[in-house]
Amino acid sequence: MEKLVIQGRTRLHGEVTISGAKNAAVALIPATLLINGVCTLENLPNISDVQIQCEILKELGATIEWLNPNTARIDTSTVDNYKAPLDKTSKFRASYYLIGALLSRFHNVEVGLPGGCNLGARPIDQHIKGFEALGANVEVATGKVTASAENLIGAPIYMDTVSVGATINIILASVFAKGTTTIDNAAKEPHIVDVANFLNSIGADIRGAGTDIIKINGVEKLKSGSTYSVVPDQIEAGTFMLAAMATGGDIVLKNCISEHLDCLTAKIIEMGGKVDESGDEIRVYCNKRPTKANIKTAPYPGFPTDLQSQMGVVLALADGTSVISENIWESRFQYTYELIKMGAKITSQGKTAFFEGVEKLSGAPVYATDLRAGAALIIAGIAAEGTTELYNLQHIDRGYENIEEKFRKLGANIIRVRE
Ligand code: EPZ
């Protein structure tokens, strides 16, 4: 068993380079199945979700050569299998993209149901709605999704819920469909735009990604031999921006796209923090106690649910009483019970949590309950007086590359210990 041992209280300062986006990378890798050829993906984050997605592709018959820890040359011309096993797909959420990609390529697919952070029900009914609209027969049984289609025909699809996964999955399934597919009420996250940019760079015809109406005109095939660099991770960037706020620090983030963080930047400034943007760098500093805030999570460009727990740490230390309304997931406040062990004063009821700010937190043994909660608890340990021991690191390693090293370079006293 591994744990992180963190000695607080540290004001973080210095520079950190942001890695490629997890939620783009885990979609781009299965998207290469559509090429039936070769492509090189750069700026891949070195995280376990990416490793597992690559392992699945290799089990399907792909050849993957790692040119360095963040660059993979993927050859999917040798893929001859459209069945992905439940024991692998259940390890993370993004295995669902294999359904859209394999359906597109083989008109046949059998993929184990996805797993991922425990945030509530996490249905895939909107994914299935899209596949069926394109002409596929879809069945969910015995822990897997099977789908088949004589032909995939472009169709108008109106999303009942704004869904990142379903939007990307329907794009993957419609790239070769005959005619035009329209996704109305589409999600607009940067990783959706990244997947569309990648596919368009090799011959797909996808328009409107990043807006709520996306049109996909079916094409015959995609080009082999290209190279594509994954978009910077706006959630990792936001995590470090909030770490600067929680610790009264001064951090310069490199390799960012500041427009992807406009909502968070506005909130940080509202709470008394300072944000300087210059090119692909963002400097965040806060030399006084943050003031309270009201947070409502929403689909992009609203406040990201994936930064909710990290913001919760700042609110736990802010001056005044704050409120978070979590409008995306049914159950994303488990981390508050861990913060209470550290002296925070938080009450939560359903989708709402109230934070009565305290002057300081105190170190304690705490447990990561999901990927972003784990990151939040690292921030809390750095901001707290005394020693924090953080367990369940597997959650964090799914989505953050070398996280303790990045925090150590910013002055944190943090080590990974194998018990
Ligand atoms: C993606 O999950 C991200 N994961 C999540 O990030 C993120 O929290 C979420 O989008 C929202 O931004 C990946 O990209 C791998 P959704 P996803 O489909 O696709 C409901 C992280 O920390 N819904 O946008 O699963 C759903 O229940 C992770 O990196 C349906 O009802 O999210 C939720 O309430 C955690 N039916 C809402 O829509 C469906 O078919 C948004 O879900 C699909 C979703």
CA distance 151 to 225: 27
CB of 332 closer than 6 angstroms to any ligand 1 atom? no
Does the global pTM surpass 0.85?
A: yes
Write down the CATH superfamily of domain 2-18+232-418. Enolpyruvate transferase domain (3.65.10.10)
CA distance 235 to 74: 26
pLDDT tens digits, 86-118: 889 888 899 999 999 999 999 999 999 998 888
Strand 213-217 versus strand 180-184 pairing type:
antiparallel
CB of 365 closer than 6 angstroms to any ligand 1 atom? no
From atom 30 of ligand 1, which residue's Cα is the shortest distance away?
123
Record: fold of 22-229 = UDP-n-acetylglucosamine1-carboxyvinyl-transferase; Chain (3.65.10)
pLDDT tens digits, 18-56: 999 999 999 999 999 999 999 999 999 999 999 999 999
Residue 162 Cα to ligand 1 midpoint, Å, equals: 9
CA distance 398 to 156: 35
Instruction: Give me the DSSP letters along 203-267.
Output: T--EE-BTBSEEEEE--S---SSEEEEPPB-HHHHHHHHHHHHHHT-EEEEES--GGGGHHHHHH
Q: Which of 39, 117, 256, 286 is catalytic?
A: 117
Residue 200 Cα to ligand 1 midpoint, Å, equals: 24
pLDDT tens digits, 157-201: 999 999 999 999 999 999 999 999 999 999 999 999 999 999 999
Per-residue confidence at 61, pLDDT binned at 50, 70, 90?
very high
Q: What's residue 409's pLDDT? A: 98
Query: Ligand 1, closest atom to CA 164?
Result: 24
39 is known as an active-site residue: no
CA distance 107 to 173: 9
From atom 42 of ligand 1, which residue's Cα is the shortest distance away?
163
CB of 305 closer than 6 angstroms to any ligand 1 atom? yes
- Among candidate residues 405, 378, 350, the one with its CA nearest the CA of residue 6: 378
Sequence-separated (6 or more) residues with CB below 8 Å from residue 86: 112, 113, 143, 144
Q: How many CB atoms lie within 10 A of CB 280?
A: 14
CB of 126 closer than 6 angstroms to any ligand 1 atom? yes
Q: Tell me the helices (H) and strands (E) count for the chain, helix number first.
A: 14, 24
Please list the residue range(s) of the chain that carry CATH number 3.65.10.10.
2-18+232-418, 22-229
Strand boundaries in 326-399, DSSP class E: 345-349, 352-356, 365-367, 386-391
pLDDT tens digits, 369-412: 999 999 999 999 999 999 999 999 999 999 999 999 999 999 99
